[in-house]
Amino acid sequence: MKSSISGFWKWPIVYQEVDLSKIMVRCAYHSDWDGAMKLAWKTFIKFDAPDYSQEGIQNFHNFVNDDMLRKMFIAGHYQLFVAVDREKYVGMLTLREKKHISLLFVDENYHGNGVGSALIKYVSKYVSEEEGLDRITVNSAPYAREFYHKRGFKDLGPETVADGIRYTPMELRLRDMLQTKS
């Protein structure tokens, strides 16, 4: 077990050690959608919601429950990637416009064990090799800002609030990231 104090939390958060060799990161199937969105909502409420207004929380809830978003995923216009430990969803990441991370969440019991990094690495290769693009962008929540910085993302501007959602626009240049991680 390892312990860490993170963000606004006042007590140590204890994480279980995870064997990453047993976790599979992959492109999602249609049947993965509901489980991935439940993971996103559950994790958002625990870690991100304290930084948001009621308006922001409601807008996030509406977003992860939007039937139009599901239809875009089914039609192939919105990509979902999942990290699975046996049958359990332990991480999820969505891409819009082929290069923008719109959601990235990891089950609280898997924080600090490389699941989020594995998702970013998988998606970085996908965006570079399959889409032929050289960068990934994200609008980082306050809770995740340090996570993205540690993985090479750079701020593109100051923190912004839109519709009650706080975020910092960031970018990762893939050539730099893929060369240093190979």
SS3 93: strand
- Give the predicted TM-score (pTM) of the model: 0.84
pLDDT tens series, the chain, 182 aa? 333 333 333 333 444 455 677 899 999 999 999 999 999 999 999 999 998 999 999 999 999 999 999 999 999 889 999 999 988 999 999 999 999 999 999 999 999 999 999 999 999 999 999 999 999 999 999 999 999 999 999 999 999 999 999 999 999 999 866 665 55
The full set of domain ranges for the chain reads: 22-181
Q: Could you give the C-alpha distances from 100 to 18, 22, 160, in angstroms and in order?
A: 28, 27, 17
Query: What is the model's pLDDT at position 175?
Result: 81
Break the chain down into helix, strand, coil percent, rounded to 5: 45, 30, 25
* 77 three-class SS: coil
Q: What does the DSSP 8-state code read for residue 34?
A: H
**What element of type H or E holds 80?**
strand 78-85
Could you tell me the fold of the domain covering 22-181? Aminopeptidase (3.40.630)
